Amino acid sequence: MAITEELSALRDDTLAAIAAAETTAALEEVRVAVLGKAGSLTGYLRSMGQVPKEERAAVGKAVNEARVAVEEALGARKATLDAAELDAAMDAAAVDVTLPGRVQQRGTRHLINGIIDEISEIFLGLGYSVAEGPEVETDYYNFEALNAPADHPSRSMQDTFYVLDRSGDAARVRGESEVLLRTQTSGVQVHAMEDQELPIYVIAPGKVYRRDVADPSHLPQFHQIEGLVVDEGITFADLKGTLDYLCKQIFGPERKTRFRAHYFPFTEPSAEVDVSCGICHGEGCRMCKGTGWLEILGCGMVDPNVLGMSGIDPERYSGFAFGMGVERIACLKYNVPDLRMLLEGDMRFLRQF
């Protein structure tokens, strides 16, 4: 076969291969096979010296024509494939702005912390400060300084977790006061009376511990908010006005309060406070056990002995104190039937608040 026919066949095969190349990488393989250093068409150019003189012009022309045809076809095909590959890359990286967004799971503040914050805000607005105290407390601050000496009946009313030392005996501070988990936040009030300048307007939110088995209305660990005011000229009217305002802020302005005489060791006189039932508005229902009222806190005027024990002159100063259970307030405000639901961590329940 004459060289010109070989070249013609090579050109046609190469053009077909170029047309069949589906990617720029496949196209580059065709280019290297034909026009590369060891390419088939390059081989013809290199061997021109061996071509007989009389054929050299015709062969040279045929080689050149084949090269130009192949290069043109390569250029055109490469432009087509480059454009297609760019489109594909853009499609792959594209963001579909018409798809609905994915909702982020956001946490919420726990109902107990929400109630503590809400009540703290109410008292901060009245000019009180918020105090914290130790959860591991001594017998002195938990009972004795609150007018409840060792044989006092209030100690058997509250079953206490005592802290033991290494030998298994009750741990004691300076060989005297026993160490315990506080059963009430009242110890913070004693610290405030000992440490703070007068007058005192303080609330103390925090965890307390009692040896109760968890049931719908008891938890071995729960939260209290206690409050203490010590100033000149404080009367029971100040106590009533403050707590009535508190109840209306928490439960709503239409709710009423009533004060029932009660007994607490460190206040005299003492009272329990009820708020009118929000479901039956005083008619009587299951929520309020038919009474029309819900018990929400205990309070009273600070016993002069308690003031005196903390070095405050009871002839000049008077004050009041109150305490409430945060879980109970939460349950009454949102009609939660079982205190344990607050601790179960069920997100379907907690997200409602």
Rounded CA separation 4/329 (Å): 103
Nearer to Zn ion, 131 or 275 (CB): 275
Given candidates 27, 190, 193, 277, which one binds Zn ion under the rule CB under 5 A?
A: 277
Given candidates 51, 285, 343, 350, which one binds Zn ion under the rule CB under 5 A?
A: 285
Sheet holding 267-276, edge to edge: 129-130, 200-209, 221-231, 318-325, 293-302, 267-276, 257-264
Contact partners, residue 63, CB within 8 Å, separation at least 6: 7, 41, 44, 45, 48
Torsion region of 175: left, alpha or beta (phi above 0 gives left; psi -120 to 50 gives alpha)? left
Interface characters, 301-330, with Zn ion (x: CB under 5 A): ------------------------------
User: Read out DSSP for 186-252?
Assistant: HHHHHHHHHHSPSSEEEEEEEEEE-----BTTB-SEEEEEEEEEEETT--HHHHHHHHHHHHHHHH-
Nearer to Zn ion, 48 or 279 (CB): 279
Q: Which stretch binds Zn ion (CB under 5 A): 246-254, 273-281, 297-305, 322-330?
A: 273-281
Pairing of strands 129-130, 200-209: parallel
Q: Which stretch binds Zn ion (CB under 5 A): 18-26, 204-212, 271-279, 316-324?
A: 271-279
In angstroms, what CA-CA distances link 275 with 5, 145, 251, 347? 110, 30, 9, 30
Q: Does 163 bind Zn ion (CB under 5 A)?
A: no
CB atoms near residue 118 (< 10 Å)? 15
Q: How far is the CB of 291 from Zn ion (least distance, A)?
A: 7
Q: Which stretch binds Zn ion (CB under 5 A): 33-41, 88-96, 169-177, 269-277?
A: 269-277
Q: How far is the CB of 288 from Zn ion (least distance, A)?
A: 3
Q: Does 280 bind Zn ion (CB under 5 A)?
A: yes
Q: How far is the CB of 254 from Zn ion (least distance, A)?
A: 14
Nearer to Zn ion, 162 or 334 (CB): 334
Residue type, 88: A
Nearer to Zn ion, 284 or 304 (CB): 284
Structure tokens at 239: 């106590």
Given candidates 288, 326, 332, 336, which one binds Zn ion under the rule CB under 5 A?
A: 288
Q: Which stretch binds Zn ion (CB under 5 A): 38-46, 63-71, 272-280, 302-310?
A: 272-280
Residue type, 141: Y
Nearer to Zn ion, 255 or 262 (CB): 255
Q: Which residues bind Zn ion (CB under 5 A)?
A: 277, 279-280, 285, 287-288
